[in-house]
A and B are shown apart, each in its own frame.
Chain A
């Protein structure tokens, strides 16, 4: 990235009020706060049902200092399209139109509307905060829940299927900017969101977002858990800009280095406790193969 934001030059302007309804240690709180700082005041948000709906507050109180329209679960990509169309009709083209949805709302029920918006080339930023299950409804499995994870609908054996690769699906639409980020690396996220505001066409940012109650870890470990996902090579930070893939920041620095074993990450969370030694070994092999491909 051309210009890296640091803690010294990060804007002090806040768009999320403190004391909102998020759980303690909520990864989304970090992601939302940093994302809105990067987006700035001239932004309209589109939000489907998710933990963010709760964080935003109960009528008539709202925790966000930006205009926001809450929309139905499956409609986020289309609703963002509608806001953009209205901005065009009104000649207010400089507004950032930003859809902000969870992983279930993106990878499962919302993927059709998102795919449609990407195919049409809508001038929107879509941010998916991925806490890897339906957390707002009480930790049910989603398309982006990783294999082996215990949820309330995979309570004994853990999820049998692999995590849906949503950024790859969105990248396959040929949109100009796809990026991944993590709540544990907020400045990297900030710079990616900032960059998205400068690119024309659909932009998609997928943010790994640790969830203490859903993942079964103590709320003080949110950053630690998020960092381990990256440092073990399980969740990679990258950009696909006009079709060109490159690892960024913390993931880029792992190239050519020995990564921590995936067990270091799994051990921090109760949701992986049903994973067998064989399953862990298999996942380690998959991660190793993925990184071998990065380095070739």
Chain B
């Protein structure tokens, strides 16, 4: 059924259709309408979940961690400083291998205070071990939430579903609301092997030694480093799992098919712009204009950022003349985080493209299509050498 709703409501609807059992959230702009909608779903009886209005984001993730350890499907959502306040808990959730799903309505982080969109909040969490998926529009938000629950419980790793604050969270778009019966066929109930159970007591997340250690039954059990190695291996294997899940999603719903990257006019392109989130769709207009001028350019949206689909990206960008990475985040003192990752993915190619990096839109600075056109035109006209120092788009008050 097609409906017209906000991105936040698309996310909330995805959570309802996924039959989340425990939801905990603390309000933060621009996530709030999502959790308001979920509390409405729960109070009205449309969703049979426990809704816990916690006193902080740290506690929101604590509720999810405990509820997930106890064997229920748990969800939360946040933005910006709320996500940063959770940081310790994000590490805990993934270390404990809990299939929690969280939406992040992307927002810049203080100081100084900003409520507007950029990607610094979730990008700053890239190394915690969570899977990170990014949606480009409302249809992708609702679909990705449903896929995220299945991915999380398939690989026992929590999943962040990120989408642009305001640009997607608060705008209205038509999208298809999947049928509950079809979602139920796609997403099996959460049935963990190990959970908090008085009939079968276990001690979860105990102090673990640097070295392996024998249990009381004589079996050698892993030390900390083995447990962390397993996590890394399983994260890498999650690439294949997500590909399969996405394929199955296409079978059930007739949408998807681009789990890692979404390419637009890239096939014959000499130049490719790369971006995350709604910016990758905004860039399509620029690509169309440049194509009219005879410039062979395409755009690639990155939809899975962790684990990093390096092979898919290397395949997509192999043989291109110039790759332009446009980012709403920065690894301060270095370069854009996506730029560094893409450069690393392309390193082994014999015929490496020239790379340019642009930083733009921080703290919600408006991104004008003309600015994108100017930047891409410049990069395409002189793709001589790799440029590790990012160029900035739309900076004012400069000498």
A residues with a Cβ closer than 8 A to B are: 41-44, 46, 53-54, 56-62, 64-72, 74-75, 77-83, 85-90, 95, 112-113, 115-116, 119-120
Q: Are A66 and B62 in contact (CB under 8 A)?
A: no
- Could you give, for residues 199-221 of chain B, a 1 whenever the CB lies within 8 Å of some chain A CB and a 0 otherwise? 01111111111000111100101
Given contacts A60-B213, A60-B215, A89-B49, contact A71 B70 (CB under 8 A): no
Given contacts A59-B206, A67-B201, contact A119 B71 (CB under 8 A): no
Check if B389 is an interface residue, CB within 8 A of chain A.
Answer: no
Q: Are B196 and A67 in contact (CB under 8 A)?
A: yes
Check if B318 is an interface residue, CB within 8 A of chain A.
Answer: no
Residues of B within 8 A of A43 (CB): 198
Tell me the complex Cα distance, A58–B216, Å: 12
Please tell me which one of the listed residues B56, B209, B216 contacts residue A116 in the complex, with CB atoms under 8 A apart.
B56
21 A-B residue pairs with Cβ-Cβ distance under 8 Å, sorted by A, are A43-B198, A44-B196, A54-B207, A57-B206, A58-B213, A60-B213, A61-B213, A67-B200, A67-B201, A69-B69, A69-B205, A71-B92, A79-B63, A81-B52, A81-B62, A83-B66, A85-B52, A89-B21, A90-B70, A113-B56, A119-B55
Q: Are A67 and B207 in contact (CB under 8 A)?
A: no
Check if B53 is an interface residue, CB within 8 A of chain A.
Answer: yes
Q: How many Å from the CB of A110 to the closest CB on chain B?
A: 10
Q: Are B88 and A72 in contact (CB under 8 A)?
A: yes
Residues of B within 8 A of A86 (CB): 21-22, 50, 66-68, 70-72, 74, 196
Q: How many Å from the CB of B94 to the closest CB on chain A?
A: 13
Q: Are B70 and A113 in contact (CB under 8 A)?
A: no
Q: Are A89 and B66 in contact (CB under 8 A)?
A: no
Tell me the complex Cα distance, A68–B204, Å: 6
Residues of B within 8 A of A83 (CB): 66-67, 69-70, 196
Most central of A42, A62, A68, A89 by chain B CB within 10 Å? A89
- Could you give, for residues 257-276 of chain B, a 1 whenever the CB lies within 8 Å of some chain A CB and a 0 otherwise? 00000000000000000000
Given contacts A44-B198, A67-B196, contact A72 B62 (CB under 8 A): yes
Tell me the complex Cα distance, A80–B49, Å: 17
Q: Is the interface of B mostly helix, strand, loop or mixed?
A: mixed
Q: Are B22 and A75 in contact (CB under 8 A)?
A: no
Q: How many Å from the CB of B195 to the closest CB on chain A?
A: 8
Tell me the complex Cα distance, A41–B198, Å: 6
Q: Are B198 and A71 in contact (CB under 8 A)?
A: no
Kindly list 9 other residue pairs between chains A and B, CB separation below 8 angstroms, not including A71-B65, A113-B59.
A46-B66, A60-B215, A68-B203, A70-B205, A70-B206, A78-B62, A83-B67, A85-B52, A89-B72
Q: How many Å from the CB of B338 to the closest CB on chain A?
A: 30
Please tell me which one of the listed residues B55, B67, B203 contacts residue A82 in the complex, with CB atoms under 8 A apart.
B67
Residues of B within 8 A of A65 (CB): 201
Tell me the complex Cα distance, A79–B68, Å: 10
Check if B197 is an interface residue, CB within 8 A of chain A.
Answer: yes
Number of cross-chain contacts by CB at 8 Å: 175
Q: Are B206 and A78 in contact (CB under 8 A)?
A: no
Tell me the complex Cα distance, A23–B65, Å: 31
Q: Are A74 and B58 in contact (CB under 8 A)?
A: yes
Q: Are A113 and B89 in contact (CB under 8 A)?
A: no
Check if B354 is an interface residue, CB within 8 A of chain A.
Answer: no
Tell me the complex Cα distance, A70–B203, Å: 8
- 6 A-B pairs closest in CB distance: A82-B66, A116-B55, A78-B59, A86-B70, A75-B62, A78-B62
Q: Are B67 and A64 in contact (CB under 8 A)?
A: no
Q: Are B198 and A58 in contact (CB under 8 A)?
A: no
Residues of A within 8 A of B74 (CB): 82, 86
Q: Are B206 and A72 in contact (CB under 8 A)?
A: no
Please tell me which one of the listed residues B63, B204, B209 contacts residue A78 in the complex, with CB atoms under 8 A apart.
B63
Residues of B within 8 A of A53 (CB): 206-207
Check if B24 is an interface residue, CB within 8 A of chain A.
Answer: yes
Check if B54 is an interface residue, CB within 8 A of chain A.
Answer: yes
Q: Are A120 and B53 in contact (CB under 8 A)?
A: yes
Check if B64 is an interface residue, CB within 8 A of chain A.
Answer: yes
What is the chain B residue whose CB lies nearest that of A21?
B207
Q: Are B62 and A79 in contact (CB under 8 A)?
A: yes
Most central of A41, A64, A78, A113 by chain B CB within 10 Å? A78
Residues of B within 8 A of A68 (CB): 196, 201-204
Q: Are B204 and A69 in contact (CB under 8 A)?
A: yes
What is the chain A residue whose CB lies nearest that of B205?
A70
Most central of A77, A81, A88 by chain B CB within 10 Å? A81
Chain B, 66-118, CB within 8 A of any chain A CB: 66-72, 74, 88-89, 92
Residues of B within 8 A of A56 (CB): 203, 206
Q: Are B62 and A82 in contact (CB under 8 A)?
A: yes
Tell me the complex Cα distance, A42–B59, Å: 25
Q: Are A82 and B63 in contact (CB under 8 A)?
A: yes
Residues of A within 8 A of B204 (CB): 67-70
Most central of B54, B66, B216 by chain A CB within 10 Å? B66
Q: Are A79 and B53 in contact (CB under 8 A)?
A: no
Q: Are B196 and A89 in contact (CB under 8 A)?
A: no
Q: Are B198 and A82 in contact (CB under 8 A)?
A: no
Q: How many Å from the CB of A46 to the closest CB on chain B?
A: 7
Tell me the complex Cα distance, A77–B56, Å: 12
Q: How many Å from the CB of A207 to the closest CB on chain B?
A: 22
Residues of B within 8 A of A70 (CB): 203-206
Tell me the complex Cα distance, A68–B59, Å: 18
Given contacts A62-B203, A71-B65, A90-B70, contact A78 B196 (CB under 8 A): no
Residues of A within 8 A of B21 (CB): 86, 89-90
Q: Are A79 and B65 in contact (CB under 8 A)?
A: yes
Residues of B within 8 A of A61 (CB): 213, 215-216
Please tell me which one of the listed residues B52, B71, B92, B214 contacts residue A72 in the complex, with CB atoms under 8 A apart.
B92
Residues of A within 8 A of B24 (CB): 78, 81-82, 85
What is the chain A residue whose CB lies nearest that of B204?
A69
Tell me the complex Cα distance, A42–B205, Å: 20
Residues of A within 8 A of B68 (CB): 82, 86
